[in-house]
Amino acid sequence: MRDIAGDVGVDAALVYRYFGSKEALFNDVSGTGKIFEPLLDEPVEAIPDWFCALLMGAPNEGDFPHPVLSVLRSSGRDEAVARLRADFTEVFSKRLAARFDGPDADLRAELLAAWMLGTSLMRTEIRPPALVSAPDATLERYLRAGIEVLLAPAPDGDDGAAGAETGDEDRVAGDN
């Protein structure tokens, strides 16, 4: 705690006063819900802009670790996963989904979270060559296309009929 307090120019007692423990400090600063709070203030039509701003720009070697990975790597993995689930559920499944029109709003909001999380983890941690080196304009074009699809309900279709159009109704994943 002394090192943390020293890094920000305060006494360790002050850090303890506000947070109580190193774990409480970590939980407060690593809470993923806070990262996404600004998203909830954006008009729905501006959500693609917000996501693109978050995900664009070349990732640099040595940048801070991805906030979700930091939480998952912390002690108490089960607690960390439960906290992530609670944060994502509150921000995306409940609050963001409540702003969407049409059916499956919670599913579409969670798919947005998955799109964002997957893209950011791939770019910052896994760093495959095409995703890392893509020009911003190209990356933005694909990001926007994926995000905008999720902002509106999908065209009506027969739920569960994914294989019906191809005649693969009885096919099971992995069958050849």
Q: Is residue 171 part of a domain?
A: no
Same domain flag for 22 and 47: no
Query: What's the domain count of the chain?
Result: 2
Reported as a single tens digit per residue, the pLDDT across 6-50 is 777 777 777 677 667 666 665 565 555 677 888 899 999 999 999
Same domain flag for 54 and 141: yes
Same domain flag for 26 and 42: no
Same domain flag for 64 and 101: yes
Q: Is residue 24 part of a domain?
A: yes
pTM of the model: 0.71
Three-state SS sequence of 65-101: CCHHHHHHHCCCHHHHHHHHHHHHHHHHHHHHHHHCC
Alpha carbon distance 97, 105 (integer Å): 5
Same domain flag for 70 and 116: yes
Positive or negative torsion for Cα 8, 13, 15, 17? negative
Same domain flag for 13 and 88: no
Q: Is residue 170 part of a domain?
A: no
Same domain flag for 43 and 15: no
Span 89-118, average pLDDT: 95
Residue 115 in this model has a pLDDT that exceeds 70: yes
Among 119, 134, 108, residue whose Cα is nearest residue 51: 119
Q: Is residue 97 part of a domain?
A: yes
Reported as a single tens digit per residue, the pLDDT across 50-60 is 999 888 876 66
- CB atoms < 10 A from the CB of 137, how many? 8
What spatial distance separates the first Cα and last Cα of the chain, rounded to whole Å? 57
pLDDT at 138: 96
Alpha carbon distance 137, 87 (integer Å): 31
Same domain flag for 25 and 36: no
Q: Is residue 10 part of a domain?
A: yes
Residue 80's pLDDT band, with cuts at 50, 70 and 90, is confident
